[in-house]
Structure 1
Amino acid sequence: MRKISFLVGILAAFASCTVKEEVDVIYKNGNVYTVNDNFDKVQDFAVKDGKFIAVGGDISANYKATKVVDLKGKSVYPGFIDAHCHFYGLGLQLQKVDLVGTKSFQEVLDRIVAFQKKKNVPFITGRGWDQTKWEVKEFPTKEKLDSLFPNTPVAVRRIDGHAVLANQKALDLADITVKTKVDGGEVILKDGKPTGVLIDNAMDLVLAKVPEPTKREKIQALIDAEKICTDLGLTTVDDAGLDKEVIELIDSLQKAGTLHMKVYAMASATKENLNFYLKNGKVKTPKLNVRSFKYYADGALGSRGAALKESYSDKHNHFGTLLSSVEDFESTAKRIANSDFQMNTHAIGDSANYVVLKTYTDILGNKAKERRWRVEHAQVVSKVDLEFYKNIFPSVQPTHATSDMYWAEKRLGEERVKEAYAYKELLDAYGKIALGTDFPIERVSPFLTFYAATARKDLENFPENGFQTENALTREETLKGMTIWAAYSNFEENEKGSIEIGKSADFIILNQDIMTVEETKIPETKVEKTYIDGILLK
């Protein structure tokens, strides 16, 4: 009897012991924001095969791992998603003259001269000048460029990418004269002669003459961009406008393990891209998602290319311009509507927003909400048109508000500016909002996005009470806009955007808690570690 009792006791002991599942890593003692439906916070989670396999609860009772990481109270978040940027463009920009932050036209010239002395390229390109930041806030002219570079073409883009300053050599290469007319663009004249400034579609005449980067340069651009982005906590980027060749290069680098960044690729809505992808269908791999087209409705507010319902307050009888005809936009939208693809349209001015919203609504009908078609920027939206956003997804970039706030009222007037950068109203209309940066037009940092969305101030704490703070977002709304709502805008909410069982282990560890830290300290936040599919990249 004693032997039987002993055996029964042993069996009972074994039965009471749970066999622990082996995982790759257990993380414990963290301040973990899951961003799940309940916005729960937990302390522990486990990762296996690149996915979250356990989140919260008594993980040590059910799982074991050879590696256990003590987070020591550090704050953990889902990897940030930049819902609108130019990832490839950022990498290319690193190989060109950087004009961001220039405080005068003379500084622009000085940087170009210094760049050329170092690089000695056959065609000088770059980006970042912004005349609204200079003492003289007018468009520059090409005379000084002509004298400095009489035999080398120069074409440098404005910060928003919707205007170019070109010298005479570049204009000659593009056959641009005083008689040149371009639909959806403008050759700026002064005293009956080209100034060198080209707006929107007119830029293409010069930019088409710029030598194509080599394959090696393209690869290096993507690798360089990834380093910058992962260092700042980005794990997915929505690249707003890529050609098939670059998309396929990204795919090949990801499959080779050379590029780790996840990319939601918006194919530029060119005839070639539309024909190819509408025929061949969506592309989906663990790191690449090609299921949308990027279309440009109008230009930018800073270069007065945004299409407005009423004329610019600082330029009488000037309304901006649509970059293509309404008929072309409608026919393109109908083609996309007859596929599984999403349409994402750049719309800045209130007139452009109306055209896009009305067209989307008319074509999609009662399927508009489920199709998740996006308006990129949604910058100036008339109050009467907000109703359309109940079914159309707004994708915005909060730092545009704090970059433009110094001069936006001059362009729009005291009343109309109140209808601009209305992120809270857009969120209330749709129920979700996707947040990005539009880098390299703006800086890459998601923390500047977070600060601009919540504080509506610049880094000098201006304005003291914030810019149109009635449209500020809460910290919770902002975090969702950079994670789960951005994932939703990409049809990826079931695979990323939150720390939940079964989703990709894309997460970041920060040096402070952006949900509770003093507001002014948010921009100072540092990323300590970035993980994509459980792999440490920083």
Structure 2
Amino acid sequence: MKKLWPALLLLAAACSPKKEYNADLLIKNAVVYTVDSNFTVANAIVVNGGKVLAVGSIDSLENKYLAREVVDAGGKAVYPGFIDAHAHFMEYGLGLQNVNLVGLKSWDVILDTVSNYAIKKTEGWIVGAGWDQNIWANKAFPNKARLDSLFPVRPVILSRIDGHAAIANQAALNIAGVKPGQKIIGGEIETINGKLTGILVDNAVGIVTRKIPAPTEQIVQTALLDAQKNCVAVGLTTVDDCGVPYQLINTIASLQHKGDLKMRLYLMLADQPENYNYLFKRGAYKTPGLNVRAFKVYADGALGSRGACLLQSYTDQPKWNGFLLSQKTHFEEVAKKIAAHGFQMCTHAIGDSANRVMLKIYAENLKGKNDKRWRIEHAQIVSPQDINTFGENNIIPSVQPTHATSDMAWAIKRLGAQRLKTGYVYKDLLKQNGWIPLGTDFPVENINPLYTFYAAVVRKDLKGFPEGGFQMENALSRQEALRGMTIWAAKANFEEKEKGSLEPGKFADFVILDNDIMKAKGSDLPDVKVLKTYINGVKVYDKK
């Protein structure tokens, strides 16, 4: 009889029904913020084939679906994958290979940092980014004299935090042929007492950077993958990369096809003839991971470097209003041809004068209510007289909340108390169309979208300043902020039907956090961490 048991067991196994899986993944015991139209909250989500199959109660879903993998979220909150509606993904990746100057408190510390970098990287240009004179004791632009002394032959260029100003040493200026007193439209080459200081503002920066050898294809690929690694670690699943060359499309598409680059990207091509010619001839490019249908235009510079174009003089520099980066006719011509070809126009506009110029040009082309979703990137200082133009023409303000909390300490010096009230007016801008996309503008600001949420809702810096929050009448609610970095950011990219909320049929892009940002204390928000990030239902980051 004992000899019969193995045979009987095998027979029983053969006769028993096989498990038939009808899902790839089940996340249970979670607080799932779907961010659908009703802002529904569930406790389980089912994924199959890279898309959301069902969202609801664990009891009903477990009875209906048998998943190959089951994850117990342990009561943690799940959100749609965060979307950064305005960033510089490629630039950020390249910057990881250069000198990081962010947060350094003095020119002396910067020089020491650059010197140490030069010891490790002994050849070629020295390129760095992130300095900010507003956090230094004297708050003045640096001079290149000591940079020349340290590097008399090797070219050096160090960009300001906003990317709208830089300091170059004489070696770099010589290579570019920059001369004292030289003039350029939409830029400034600082000259004092007939001598170059090394400071270049806006279009002047490009005179030098165009002389830097282009990165190799391998360097570009490494930069993209390095950027991806850091993005998924903070819960980003889609990033809008603003102002890139058309050649980047093939590199990204190739990496995505091979499965190396899993990040979804929305590319805005730079305002250059070759980019217009490419996309107008080829048409929009769309895959599940890559969307190219927009152009990024720069109207003016940045407030920190006094390149933002203002209606009235800077409070801390009388008789200086900043400037537009191109003639008004250029913006008119660009808007007309973008409209004629059916693409999206996205324009960097910081100052109230730049915003007014671009809003008028937009209105002339959009002609009232429409669904073209043309965007003003930053919309930082906007005259109250111009606010309604956004709503009247369905112009989308694309804003970055951490700019408010980074700028507030010194912006009052640039603008004065009265005009500051017209800046960073996110709630007022939200009211225009009933929705507003949010981003970080990294690497200008920190890459972490949870800082975006904190700045939008609490309106304080990471030190908890100011105590009552900055101009709290323009704070966003938590629900508005979450929508701004998920479904509204997707809508700004014409992608709201495929991502931005956890609903059946949409991409299974989601994040699990260690604390619920919809309920956590405001002061705790900056410390919230991503536990897991999923793209297409596949885990791409695990904190462990």
Amino acid at match of 1:396: V
1:6 match: none
Aligned residue number for residue 254 of structure 2: 252
Corresponding position of 2:439: 436
Equivalence for 1:373: 374
Q: Distance in 2 between matches of 1:419 and 1:486?
A: 23
Deviation at 1:20, TM superposition (A): 8.2
TM-score relative to the length of structure 2? 0.94
1:403 corresponds to which residue?
406
Letter in 1 for 2:94: L
Tell me whether 1:125 sits opposite 2:122 in the alignment: no
Deviations 1:379-406 (A, max 9, x none): 0000010001111101000110011001
Q: What SS does structure 1 have at the residue aligned with 2:413?
A: helix
Q: Distance in 1 between matches of 2:280 and 2:271?
A: 11
Deviation string, structure 1 residues 21-55 (Cα, Å, up to 9, x no partner): 71111221110000000000001111000000111
Cα gap change, 1:184/1:516 in structure 2, threshold over 3 Å: closer, same or farther? same
Q: Which amino acid counterpart does residue 475 of structure 2 have in structure 1? A: A
- Where does structure 1 differ by over 6 angstroms across 4 or more consecutive aligned residues? none
Q: Deviations over 1:226-248 (max 9, x none)?
A: 00000000000000111011122
1:126–1:156 contact (8 Å) kept in structure 2: yes
Counterpart pick for 1:531 among 519, 534, 537: 534
Greater mean deviation of Cα atoms: 60-69 or 37-46 = 60-69
Q: Distance in 2 between matches of 1:28 and 1:179?
A: 66
Partner of 1:15: none
Q: Which runs of 5 or more structure 1 residues have no equivalent in the other structure? A: 1-18
What is residue 37 of structure 1 aligned with on the other side? 37
User: C-alpha displacement at 1:193, in angstroms?
Assistant: 1.3
Kept in 1, the 8 Å contact 2:83–2:439? The answer is yes
Which amino acid in the other structure matches residue 402 of structure 1?
T
Q: What amino acid is the match of 1:166? A: A
Letter matched to residue 461 of structure 2: D
Task: Tell me, in whole angstroms, the C-alpha distance in 2 between the residues paired with 1:281 and 1:27.
Answer: 39
> Does the Cα contact within 8 Å between 1:313 and 1:413 map onto a contact in 2?
yes
Aligned partner of 1:10 in structure 2 is: none
- Give the Cα–Cα distance (whole angstroms) in 2 for the partners of residues 28 and 170 of structure 1: 58
> Which amino acid letter does the alignment assign opposite residue 387 of structure 2?
L
Deviations 1:409-459 (A, max 9, x none): 110111100000000100011211110000001110011111111111111
Q: CA deviation at 1:366?
A: 3.0
Secondary structure in 2 matching 1:323 = coil
Say yes or no: does 1:275 pair with 2:272.
no
Name 1:50's counterpart in structure 2: 50
State the aligned residue count: 519
Query: Which residue of 164, 167, 178 corresponds with 1:165?
Result: 167
Is the contact between residue 434 and residue 482 of structure 1 (CA under 8 Å) also seen in structure 2? Answer: yes
Q: Distance in 1 between matches of 2:104 and 2:71?
A: 45
Contact 1:20–1:63 (CA<8 Å) still a contact in 2? no
Aligned position for 1:116: 118
CA distance in 2, matches of 1:286, 1:188: 46
Secondary structure in 1 matching 2:178: coil
Q: State the match for 1:86 in structure 2.
A: 88
520, 524, 538: which is aligned to 2:523?
520
**Amino acid in structure 1 at the alignment position of 2:69:** K
The aligned residue for residue 68 of structure 2 is: 66
2 CA distance for matches of 1:422 and 1:51? 36
Which segment drifts farther, 500-509 or 422-431? 422-431
- Whole-angstrom CA distance in 2 between matches of 1:256 and 1:324: 40
**Aligned residue in 1 for 2:228:** 226
In 1, distance between residues paired with 2:275 and 2:456?
34
Once the two structures are superposed, residues 39-85 of structure 1 have per-residue CA deviations (whole angstroms, 9 ceiling, x without a partner) of: 00001111000000111141122221232222221100000000000
Q: Distance in 2 between matches of 1:143 and 1:42?
A: 61
Which of 77, 94, 106 matches 2:79?
A: 77
1:423 aligns with 2:433: no
- Name 2:317's counterpart in structure 1: 315
2:9 is matched with: none
| Alpha-carbon shift at residue 178 of structure 1 (Å) | 1.2
**Which stretch shows the higher mean deviation, 119-128 or 513-522?**
119-128
